[in-house]
Amino acid sequence: MDVTVKPRRLAQALGRKKIVFEVIAVIAVALFLLLGLPHLLTDFRLGLLGRFLSLGIVALAIDLIWGFTGLLSLGHGIFFALGGYALAMYLSLVSIPSGQIPEFFSLYGVSSLPWFWQPFYSFPFTLAAIFIIPALVAGLLGYLVFRNRIRGVYFSILTQAALVVFFNFFNGQQKLINGTNGLKTNTSILMGKQVGTPETQFFLYVVTVAVLVIVYALCRWLTSGRFGRMLVAIRDDENRVRFSGYNPTGFKVLVFAISGAIAGVSGALYTIQSGIISPQAMDIAFSIEMVIWVAVGGRATLVGAILGAVLVNMARSLLSERFPNIWLFFQGALFLLVVTALPDGLIGWGRRQFGPTVSQALGLSAGPMAYGENDELRADTLAEKEG
């Protein structure tokens, strides 16, 4: 017994050390984003970064559902847009004198506020709606799909079909939510200040960084522990999970709902920083791009999702400023490159290249306890054990 217990203790000690390092690293990055970068970047660039970081949040949602649980959702635009619309509706209501209704309604001859707008007068309701509405929609959709054991490519197609349904619905409802024009938030008032001003935008940047850290911590917690191993088990072999006595449906519905909620938060933060939410957020291409960010950064790594979202979007804004026509080619090439040369994304590649060196430098390596690097070595120990 002693022999088996010792490495376990060592592994636990290393595990604790790793957590400490990770917490320090997250705080350091957050402080750099909050205190360092605002001095280095112009307001315009900082605003862009804030948007990209909020896209990093939806990338975390995709990583949770795709990277860890193996469910490729091509419909996260739905949840992203729901969160965005929830906040935009509140902002449309709060910045007009009481008794009036938002201006666009008059264009379509609507004179009284539709019933479902009413609760959005309340700020606490809106904050809750930003993640609860997408979570409910995702939970319901997930329940119907997963209960019927729809998996793999069929699941992806279904999510994309749902996206198209939502897109067409939002696009066509001028009288309810201004249809294809969407809702503008730039000139709205948030906490007594106009949303579009640099001060408010900086405040929103700070909020985005804070939310990103919180969502990252949530995802880390979900994917470590037993629940996280369960997600990986479902990805690896869902039937085995069933025959081990678990019902995977509940797990999948919960993780899909959480993923939807995170996407909603991301959508709200993105909307308020970009100044508009429109059905374009439910464009098919946009939901596929989310998946590309995660693939570029590295699946099932969480950090990779954020990194992928920020880097790809930065590359897009820089490239499309200089060469407006080239971006789509670049994006296609990037995707091909990742699929063929970097199947584990940037983080996966980095871990393989520099992982051992870095962990040794930090004293995190398990040294000779680590198995798996050398097959011959393992064969030897096996023979010894059996002999």
Partner 1 sequence: MSKILDIQDVTVSFDGFKALNHLNFAMEEGELRVIIGPNGAGKTTFLDVITGKVEPTEGAAYFKGKDLRKRKEHEIACLGIGRKFQTPRVYLNLSPRENLELSCNRQKNVLATLFKQTPPAEKRTVAGLLETIGLDYKADIPAALLSHGEKQWLEIGMLVAQSPDLLLVDEPVAGLTDEETAKTGQLLLSLAASHSIVVIEHDMEFVRQIARQVTVLHEGTVLCEGTMDQIQNDARVIEVYLGEEAS
- The site for partner 1 (CB under 8 A) is made up of 1, 3-5, 7-8, 11, 222, 225-227, 229-230, 232-233, 235-237, 239-240, 242-247, 250-251, 254, 371-372, 378, 381-382, 385-386
Our CB check for partner 1 shows the closer of 161 and 370 to be: 370
The rounded distance, in Å, linking the Cα atoms of 172 and 178 is 9
Q: Which amino acid is at 159?
A: T
- We find the least distance from the C-beta atom of residue 222 to partner 1, in angstroms, to be 8
User: DSSP code of 116?
Assistant: G
In the numeric block, which tokens belong to residue 338? Answer: 């990742």
Our CB check for partner 1 shows the closer of 51 and 299 to be: 299
The rounded distance, in Å, linking the Cα atoms of 303 and 301 is 5
- We find the least distance from the C-beta atom of residue 375 to partner 1, in angstroms, to be 8
- We find the least distance from the C-beta atom of residue 255 to partner 1, in angstroms, to be 9
In 10 A of CB 339, how many CB atoms?
12
Our CB check for partner 1 shows the closer of 6 and 193 to be: 6
- We find the least distance from the C-beta atom of residue 212 to partner 1, in angstroms, to be 22
What 3-state class would DSSP assign to 193? strand
Our CB check for partner 1 shows the closer of 115 and 243 to be: 243
User: What string of DSSP letters covers 59-73?
Assistant: HHHHIIIIIIT----
Q: Which of 194, 368, 184 is nearest to 276 (CA)?
A: 184
- We find the least distance from the C-beta atom of residue 10 to partner 1, in angstroms, to be 10
Our CB check for partner 1 shows the closer of 202 and 227 to be: 227
Our CB check for partner 1 shows the closer of 45 and 240 to be: 240
Residues 6+ positions from 101 with CB-CB distance below 8 Å:
110, 111, 112, 113
Helix axes 198-223 and 225-236, enclosed angle (nearest 10): 80
- We find the least distance from the C-beta atom of residue 129 to partner 1, in angstroms, to be 24
- We find the least distance from the C-beta atom of residue 124 to partner 1, in angstroms, to be 26
Whether 242 and 146 have beta carbons less than 8 Å apart is answered as: no
Our CB check for partner 1 shows the closer of 194 and 381 to be: 381
15 backbone dihedrals φ, ψ, rounded to 5°: -60, -45
What 3-state class would DSSP assign to 202? helix
